[in-house]
Amino acid sequence: MSERKRMTLPGLFKKVSEGQPITWLTCYDYPTAYLQDQAGVDMILVGDSLGMTMLGFDSTLPVTMEDMVRHTAAVRRGAPNVWLVGDMPYMTYQPSVETAIRHAGRFMAECGCDAVKLEGGAEMADRIAGIARSGIPVIGHLGLTPQSVSALGGFKLQGKGAAQARKIVEDATALEEAGAFCILLELVPDRVCELITERAKHCIIMSLGAGLKAHGQLLIYHDAFGLYPKFKPRMAKVFADAGAVIREGLNAYVKEVTERTFPKQENWFGMPDEEYAELVRMLNGDRDAR
C-alpha cells in the first residue's frame, strides 16, 4: 500500500507558497485512482466529463448525481490520499443555493470528497458562498464551462477579446470573494490566466489549457493517456499511449483464443486422477440408475 501522506487544504496552500505546481487529473474508477494515488498526484477531479469519457455521451449534460456518487466513491476507495474533488453535475446547483448545498453535501457524506467544483461566474457567487458557509471547500470553474457549451457556441477558447477577458477576470474576483478556495481556468489565454493568478489573494488558480502561470495544472486523464477515441484536444499532451497498448493486447487476445494458444496449462486448474475416476464412476452410476 501507499506510504504517502494524505493531501490536505493546508498542504495545497503550502505547495503554492513554496512555488511548487499542484498536479491534478480527472479520474472515474477504482484501478485508475489507485495508480494516480501511487504516482503522487495531488488532486483528483471526478469530472462530469465522465459522461463523455466513460459513458459515451456527446456532452456532460446527461450525467446524473447518481452517476457521480457511484464513480466518486469508487475513486475514493482507490485513492485514499489525494485531495478528492466531486464535480457537481448539470442542474444540481443551478436552480438554487439550497439545491447546491444539498448536492455538495452528498459528495462529502456519500463519497468521501474533500471539495466540490461547480461552473459559472459571478452569477454563481451565491451558490459558492452557501456551500463554503456550510463548511465545504468549493472550487469555481471559469472560461470554457462544458455545461454551457451550447450558450458558448462550442468547445472553444474563451476570453480572447479584451471585453470577454475582463468579464472572466471580474468573475474570478467575485468567486474568490464568495469563498472559493480554488478556481479552475479552462481554455482561456495564458495572459488572462497570469493576470488572474497575480490578482488572487487567498485562492489557488489552476489551469486546463490556460498556460504555465497558474498554481498548477489539470488534465483530463483520457486525453493524457490516449483513452478517448473521438479526438485529442490541443491542450492535452499524450504522456503515454495506453489506448495503443490496450489495442495491441486486445488483438493478441483475439488471435490467441482463435488459434487455441490461450489458455495454457498454467492458466487452468486440474483435478487429481482418483477424484476424476470417482466422478466418472458416480456419473456412470447415475446414468445406469436412470
**Under rule CB under 6 A, which residues in 165-204 are in contact with ligand KIV?**
184, 186
Region of 41-49, 96-104, 172-180, 254-262 interacting with ligand KIV (CB under 6 A): 41-49
Alpha-carbon distance of 84 to 174, in angstroms, equals 24
Whether 186 is catalytic is: yes
CA 43 to chain centre: 9
Task: Give Cβ neighbours of residue 102 (< 8 Å, ≥ 6 apart).
Answer: none
Choose the catalytic residue: 186, 248, 274, 278.
186
Rounded Cα–Cα distance for residues 194 and 90 (Å): 29
Site string for ligand KIV, 232-261 (x = CB under 6 A): ------------------------------
The least distance separating ligand KIV from the CB of residue 278, rounded to whole angstroms, comes to 58
Closest distance between ligand KIV and the C-beta of residue 69, in Å? 15
208-215: long-range contacts, CB 8 A cutoff, minimum separation 24? 208/184, 208/235, 209/144, 209/233, 209/234, 209/235, 209/236, 210/143, 210/185, 210/186, 214/185, 215/15, 215/16, 215/21, 215/22
146 binds ligand KIV (CB under 6 A): yes
Question: Does residue 48 touch ligand KIV according to CB under 6 A?
Answer: yes
- The site that binds ligand KIV (CB under 6 A) totals a number of residues, namely 13
Verify binding: residue 220, ligand KIV, rule CB under 6 A.
yes
Residues that bind ligand KIV (CB under 6 A): 26, 45, 47-49, 60, 87, 146, 184, 186, 208, 218, 220
